[in-house]
Amino acid sequence: MPKADPLGHLGVTMTPRGGRLRVYSRHASSIELCLFDPDDPNWVAATVAMTPNRSHVWTAVHPELRPGARYSIRVDGPAGPTHSFDPARHLIDPHARGLARTTSGEWRAYVQEEHFDWGGVPKPAIPLDHTVVYEAHVKGLTKLNPDMPDELRGTYAGLAHPTTIAYLKELGVTTVQLLPVHQSVSEQRLLKQGLTNYWGYNTLNFFTPATGLATRHAQTGGTGAVLREFKGMVRLLHEAGLEVVLDVVYNHTAEEGPTGPTSSLRGIDAASYYRQTPGGEYIDTTGCGNTIDFSVPAAQRLVLDSLRYWANEVQIDGFRFDLMATLGRDRHAQFDPGHPLLRAILDDPALQGVKMIAEPWDVGLGGWQVGNFPAGYSEWNDGFRDRARNFWLTDAASARRHGTAPEGIGSLARRMTGSAHVFAAERGPLASVNFITAHDGFTLADLTAYDEKHNLGNGEGNRDGTSHNRSFNFGVEGPTDDARIVADRRKAMRNLLGTLLLSAGVPMITAGDEFGRSQRGNNNAYCHDSELTWLSWDHRGWQEDLLRVSKRLLALRRENPALRPVRYGKWGETVPSATQMDWFNKEGRSMTMLDWDSPAERTLQYLAASTPEFEEFNRILLIVHGLEDEVTVTLPEHVGVTGYTLLWDSSHDDISQLEPEHAPGGRLCVGPASMLLFRAHGEPLGPGEPGEPGENRGENSDPATDGGAAAAVVARGAEAASEADGGAPTRADGDV
């Protein structure tokens, strides 16, 4: 934002004459500040006419506009298809930092009590290459936790309870990404069905924490109590070294379509804040009824002010932007990577060091923008998700039906090494947020247990949610006691977790996947606030086994820098904090076109050697085998490598009985459809020193750079992947 800001400070600030409220409306003809009686939020005790300036900012000052005071605004203006003015309607100040509901169901803003003692606790500032994101719902994470007081379960305080923190630390994640915590409401359609928007992707206001996620004590504790509980949660998580990232929904509001409830922006200046045709039809790129018009500076300012508030006043470590392609659409509704808002978020001095994660799509025309955001953003990589699911699930299903998988291993290798064909070289592998599942869609366990969605409980006749899940039930739909199917499913979960946590990029785990949580085949459970969506803390034996695997994989990622490069490598150069890779087939020889591309040759080995900048030298060997038959692998011989120590094998819950030490050139039986990780021992190569003659020396960015025939194969695969990954996903009722 420019230093000379024509809009100035919006919302309420304190002055010697009392509180000053400033609100933007370009088209209003009059605005009135209403102050309510302290004992009756329905009784207007005082009104003040607000006056505009040349920047269309309206101002009023009143001595009673102080912490705890409840207030609203009433706005009048011209009639017309793009306007929704009503001088009798009480509206929420868009910059309000406190909200309370009256007994009649209306919302009142109140002046927030901001003071909080942070005790000098700093933000953890975890480097992006060490970051592991854990996506969770505040309520769902702790609602069933038996080891905390009942009044804390499902609340901000419950998230900060010692048992929750201990669990997160023992698991090994670094960053808790919370589903929306801005005050939200349920859509009118859901209310009529007796359902609720549990996920919270229907924001009422961008500055206030959701009251319903606080303890009863905080909800009845007066001005500032809910905010203090929220800040206390952040402080305790920071003390434990855990970051807090918020999933923020700026692309639309809870006002829904033109006939939806009017609570704030629509009544203040619909023509400025919402995308509309001249005839008043809403241009909806979100699938939620309305779309905020971010070509308007006031809308941009609303987002920036909200981000600054949460990042500084509430000490939030980062943001995941829901449907962020919408935030980058210009006045013609076209996505622009250089959009002023996208740039301002990165350049704002008040937001430096804050993690910025884009969901890089929306449902509008040209909405799929993966890889097109500016350097400084990380992006959800749906191509990684799809390739991993294909390789371990739908390819296996196809092979069982047709005798062969539809493709070779090259496309998975490209994703595991940082998706360099998607993200520009200057952005590097950390531009990719890798995930197998998210809050919407099947859980990890359900990916292996259901071929079809089972959403009848959502009240839409099973029409909602995607039907393209890239899942495989391994022979039976839903729960089964068939030992073979159960074993296949559990190994598939281990393979998917291994793919996620042993790949270059920033991994994101969906809460509960680490122990195999199920939603009984519901892939759009946004409207279920129940045990269907809450995490169970009572695990069966196999779930404890999977949890141990998850902890082991997270520890291995933490201990091996070669698995988490910061930069893409360059052919013939030693790039600091990149990874030098050498690719081998099952015979321990350089990969050929057939090895990369053939559905019959879905086995590779790669040596990944770190190029140290801040950590010690490290080299690993990862074997990926994607056929449902055993294979004999010859471990590669490589200059400087003297031996391999087995660290993990997805064929087994426990590798303690397996032979750990192996020699280069040794032969090893690899189980069907499995992954193995070894630590490679020996000395690092010197700068620019080549490997063995004919060796497939590459980089962490893309196996296509290895040259020769293999490069041609992978280049063709990249083109196919770009086509397959394209297209905007369908908006579910809660989120994409």
> For the segment 571-608, what is each residue's pLDDT rounded down to a tens digit?
788 899 999 999 999 999 999 999 999 999 999 999 99
Distance CA 494, CA 650 (A): 6
Distance CA 238, CA 718 (A): 41
Distance CA 528, CA 144 (A): 15
Residue 623 β-bridge partners: 605, 676
Residue 634 β-bridge partners: 667
E-only strand ranges, 98-163: 99-101, 107-110, 133-136
Q: What is the mean pLDDT of residues 370-377?
A: 98
> For the segment 124-147, what is each residue's pLDDT rounded down to a tens digit?
999 999 999 999 999 999 999 999
User: Is 322 assigned a catalytic role?
Assistant: yes
Distance CA 322, CA 736 (A): 8
Q: What is the model's pLDDT at position 114?
A: 86
User: Is 359 assigned a catalytic role?
Assistant: yes
Considering the candidates 135, 229, 247, 359, report the single residue annotated as catalytic. Answer: 359
Q: What is the model's pLDDT at position 704?
A: 42
Q: What is the model's pLDDT at position 687?
A: 54
> For the segment 439-458, what is each residue's pLDDT rounded down to a tens digit?
999 999 999 999 999 999 99
Considering the candidates 32, 255, 322, 735, report the single residue annotated as catalytic. Answer: 322
Q: Which token pair is 386?
A: 């799809």
Q: At what angle do helices 382-389 and 708-725 cross, to 10 degrees?
A: 110
Q: At what angle do helices 340-347 and 297-308 cross, to 10 degrees?
A: 30
Task: Name the residue among 255, 260, 267, 259 with its Cα closest to residue 27.
Answer: 267
Domains and their CATH numbers in the chain: 11-110 (2.60.40.10), 128-382 (3.20.20.80), 385-561 (3.20.20.80), 575-708 (2.60.40.1180)
| Cα–Cα–Cα angle for 602, 606, 607, rounded to 5 degrees | 170
> For the segment 25-37, what is each residue's pLDDT rounded down to a tens digit?
999 999 999 999 9
Q: What is the model's pLDDT at position 686?
A: 60
Tokens 């079809």, residue located = 452
Residue 91 β-bridge partners: 73
Distance CA 51, CA 61 (A): 10
Q: What percent of the chain has pLDDT over 90?
A: 88
Distance CA 22, CA 68 (A): 18
Tokens 């909602």, residue located = 464
Q: Which token pair is 292?
A: 């905020």
HSE value, Cβ hemisphere, 13 Å, CA-based, for 611 = 22
> For the segment 478-523, what is each residue's pLDDT rounded down to a tens digit?
999 999 999 999 999 999 999 999 999 999 999 999 999 999 999 9
E-only strand ranges, 202-322: 243-248, 318-321
Distance CA 714, CA 413 (A): 9
3-state secondary structure 669-722: EECCCEEEEEEEEECCCCCCCCCCCCCCECCCCCHHHHCHHHHHHHHHHHHHHH
User: pLDDT band at 708, cuts 50/70/90?
Assistant: very low
Residue 110 β-bridge partners: 70
Residue 641 β-bridge partners: 682
